[in-house]
Structure 1
Amino acid sequence: MMFRRVPSMAATLLAAAALAGCGSPATRFYTLSPGTPATSATIASNPPWLIELAPVDVPPQVAKSQFVVQTDANQVRVLEHDRWASLPGDEIRHALSGDLTQQLGTIDVYGAPHAAGVPVYRVSVNVQRFESWPGSHVLIDAVWSVRALGAQTAMACRSVRNEAVGEGYDAIIDGHRRAIEALSQSIASGVRALAAAPRSGARASIACP
């Protein structure tokens, strides 16, 4: 009797495990990185200047792997099965780096050695609001600065980007990508403005583009 019941118990346990697996929703991962990598045509082999994009700060309430979406002005919802491929600050930084290097035809050398004698512009971004409103809009409110390393010229600016989105979380990702691209265009204009300004030892602030 014992030998006839063991296979039956094992089959029951396997069936229960299979049912439990079927009942668990699949986790989806999203990224803000550009869909196509930069090509050699958009990035010069010897660019006239370089950028250093520092790590991006985001508000603590969204600095987690899970999607955080707004349900109203005072309430958010944390989605366990919809997650970022990496932490939001890293996602934003990687997307900005890809956009800036393409728009400026340069290289992001943050944390890497680089040749002396080439102007380097340090870019810092602090995202103060990073909101996702399903079926409505996304919002990025960022304070950013560009500083010429080895010189006293700098600019500090603020950009608020609001993009309408449709239903679904894919639409939210597309909206944030558009907002980040618009932010990168403003920052790229800032880098160009500093690059065109005279380099001197005197402290100088350049107006925001």
Structure 2
Amino acid sequence: MKFGPLMLTLAAAGMLAACASPTSRFYTLAGGEARPVPSSPAAFYFELAPVDMPQQVTRNQLVVQTSPAQVQVLEQDRWSSLPSDEVRRALSADLTQQLGAIDVYNTPHPESVPVYRVKVNVQRFESWPGERAVLDAVWSVRAAGSSTVLTCRTVAQEPVGSGYDALVDGHRKAVDELASAISAGMRSVASLPVDASAATAASASSGTPAKGKAAVTARPAKAPLLPCPSSGAPATASAS
């Protein structure tokens, strides 16, 4: 029996198997059932700016916690796009559904319809396999043309089962919770009257003088206190 050719064939097969890359798995937060599109025109628009994420998770690979001080980067388990894009896309879809509004970020839109600007800064995006998914975010809502801004913090912790599918689903639920808080905050800001500073600025830009003493002594109205939907702490409006 000739063992030389057989050994060479087995060695070549072994080298090919060793060189073959493991199959990568890709995850997204934007999955789910298609949501119906409202037939009536939106009562208002919102602009969701790009979402800020912690530097340690700004990569396509899933980054999981193995201890409070240690993480593991998973080469074969990846996000379909950067986590900041995943969170923004899922959050935009949630806000659109919950508010019946349209995200017009970087999109031309009618000036006659109110626009609310939303900014989200994610401070923690932690993945604990078999334990929990954590989303800790500071967010703000401001009506375009107004000096009133609502700034709040939402901490969402979702328990998860084993497997990375469950972990991603936990993050999806955390984004849903964040969207609910922002939706409530946007409704609070929308319920406020137009502040005095915005009205004064609009009068000046239109060339129409204000009437009476207000034309001389007009000052921005004191910003009202608005409760944060995710906590009991009030948030103050500030002039930009």
TM range (shorter): 0.7 to 0.9
Alignment map for 1:1-209 (pairs within 5 Å): 15=13, 18-20=16-18, 24-40=21-37, 43-200=38-195, 201=198, 202=220, 204-205=223-224, 206-209=226-229
**Secondary structure of 1:110 counterpart:** coil
In the alignment, the residues of structure 2 paired with residue 15 and residue 71 of structure 1 have an alpha-carbon distance, to the nearest angstrom, of 36
Q: In structure 2, the residue corresponding to 1:150 is in which secondary structure?
A: coil
Superposition deviation, residue 38 in structure 1: 2.7
Q: Which residue of 2 aligns with 1:5?
A: none
Task: Note if contact 1:56-1:92 (Cα within 8 Å) is conserved in structure 2.
Answer: yes
* TM-score w.r.t. length of structure 2: 0.77
Alignment length (residue pairs) = 198
Structure 2, unmatched stretches of 5+, are: 1-5, 199-219, 230-240
Which consecutive residues of structure 1, in runs of 5 or more, have no partner in the other structure?
1-7
Name the aligned partner's letter for residue 94 of structure 2: D
CA offsets 1:9-38 (integer angstroms, 9 cap, x no match): xx889746752465x320000000141233
Q: Distance in 2 between matches of 1:147 and 1:101?
A: 17
* Cα distance in 2 between the residues matched to 1:183 and 1:83: 23
TM-score by length of 1: 0.88
Equivalent residues of 1:62, 1:68 under 8 A apart: yes
What is the Cα deviation at residue 132 of structure 1? 0.3
Rg (Cα) greater in structure: 2
Give structure 1 regions of 4+ aligned residues with deviation exceeding 3 angstroms.
11-18
CA distance in 2, matches of 1:101, 1:49: 11
SS in 1 for 2:227: coil
Quick check: 171-180 or 192-201, which moved more?
192-201
- Identity %, equivalent residues: 54
Q: In angstroms, what is the RMSD of aligned CA positions? A: 2.0
Shift of 1:188: 0.3
Supply the distance in 2 between the matched residues of 1:155 and 1:127 (Cα, whole angstroms).
Answer: 16
CA distance in 2, matches of 1:175, 1:146: 25
Structure 1: distance between partners of 2:29 and 2:82: 11
Report if aligned partners of 1:34, 1:98 keep a CA contact under 8 Å in 2: no
Contact 1:96 1:181 in 2 (8 A): yes
SS in 2 for 1:25: coil
